[in-house]
Chains A and B, each alone.
Chain A
Amino acid sequence: MNPIETQQQYSDYVDKKSPNSPILKNCFNAFWVGGLICSIGQIIFDFCKYKELDVTASNTVVSIVLIGIAAFLTGLNIFNKIGKFAGAGSLIPITGFANSIVSPAIEYKSEGYVMGVGGKMFTVAGPVLVFGISASVIIGIIATLFS
């Protein structure tokens, strides 16, 4: 084998030897699992509309049902397995929000039901709510200026 002399040769060598990053496979899995979760939501939505609920109420029902399912699947340690397989496919839908609440809560259960479960529930969901709600307040204030 030729000796490695330049930086370029070295990085080519590393690229050749290191395993291919499974990004394509990850993206494919994320795509179909994420799409499937959204489709389950759509079917629940259609069912609500079939039951003559309005659009806002239907969307709320979809969120509540998906969050409920994800929370209990996390509690049964099934959701983490889906998450390992699907990556962002289960993280980005609202199910990931529910998972991010239940996972730390279970982990810190030994610290008690108030500060352990009640407090640690929001280690990931807290920032999401802080930034989401703050953004909505800022947008509301801007909307006030323009109305």
Chain B
Amino acid sequence: MEFLQSIDWMQLLRCFVVGGIICIIGQILIDKTKLTPARILVIFVTLGAILGGLGIYKYLIDFAGCGATVPLTGFGANLAKGAIEAVQENGLLGAFIGGVKASAGGIAAAVFFGYLASLISKPKMKKQ
């Protein structure tokens, strides 16, 4: 198949390793600290936004592709990148438009699929 030939296997390996390492950092936070998952997610998103704002995170994205964009740090970096790009276009207004605009697809998908999936499933019964 033509598509399979177009896959860059080295890129895929870098993606696997970097994505895995970011998850290890999260796992160490879970095991070694008393942070709740919600706090860890918040830390990752905020950290990603800061690294994205400083322009550091894009080097990781260049290197690892989805290994950097799929973890929640990538979500944060995308918010920051969107805000900065919109500021260059619209000035201060962009600070309020850009972030959400850049991640609108993800947010809308999460809300829509989240609601849909909740509707089709039953609350699980606790086994005694």
A residues apposed to B, CB below 8 Å: 21, 23, 26-27, 30-39, 41-47, 50, 56, 59-64, 66-68, 71-72, 74-77, 86-89, 91-94, 96-98, 100-102, 105-107, 109-110, 113, 117-118, 121, 123-125, 127-129, 131-133, 135-137, 139-144, 147
Q: Are A67 and B109 in contact (CB-based, < 8 A)?
A: yes
- B residues 88-119 near A (Cβ < 8 Å) are 88, 91-92, 94-96, 98-100, 102-103, 105-107, 109-111, 113-119
Q: How far is the CB of B32 from chain A (nearest CB, A)?
A: 7
**How many interface residues does B have (CB within 8 Å)?**
85
Which of A64, A127, A129 is the one whose CB lies under 8 Å from B105? Answer: A64
Q: Are A93 and B72 in contact (CB-based, < 8 A)?
A: yes
- B56 partner residues in chain A, CB cutoff 8 A: none
Bound Cα distance A121, B92 (Å): 31
Instruction: Pick the most buried of A46, A88, A131: most chain B CB atoms within 10 A of its CB.
Output: A88
Q: Are A38 and B118 in contact (CB-based, < 8 A)?
A: no
Q: Are A92 and B113 in contact (CB-based, < 8 A)?
A: no
- B87 partner residues in chain A, CB cutoff 8 A: 140, 143-144, 147
- A37 partner residues in chain B, CB cutoff 8 A: 19, 70
Contact flag A135-B20 (CB < 8 Å), given A42-B65, A74-B117, A121-B118: no
- A30 partner residues in chain B, CB cutoff 8 A: 20, 23-24, 26-27
- A128 partner residues in chain B, CB cutoff 8 A: 38, 41-42, 45, 72
Q: Are B22 and A92 in contact (CB-based, < 8 A)?
A: yes
Which of B30, B96, B114 is the one whose CB lies under 8 Å from A88? Answer: B30
Q: Are A96 and B72 in contact (CB-based, < 8 A)?
A: yes
Contact flag A91-B24 (CB < 8 Å), given A35-B19, A38-B71: no
Which of A46, A63, A92 is the one whose CB lies under 8 Å from B6? Answer: A46
- A109 partner residues in chain B, CB cutoff 8 A: 118, 122-123
- B72 partner residues in chain A, CB cutoff 8 A: 92-94, 96-97, 128
Bound Cα distance A88, B21 (Å): 11
Sampled A-B contacts (26; CB under 8 Å): A26-B27, A26-B30, A31-B23, A34-B19, A35-B16, A35-B20, A38-B16, A39-B12, A59-B78, A60-B106, A64-B105, A64-B109, A67-B113, A75-B120, A88-B27, A93-B23, A94-B72, A94-B106, A106-B121, A124-B38, A132-B46, A136-B79, A136-B82, A140-B86, A143-B84, A143-B95
For A87, the closest partner residue in chain B by CB is B27
Q: Are A121 and B106 in contact (CB-based, < 8 A)?
A: no
Which of A34, A105, A118, A135 is the one whose CB lies under 8 Å from B71? Answer: A34
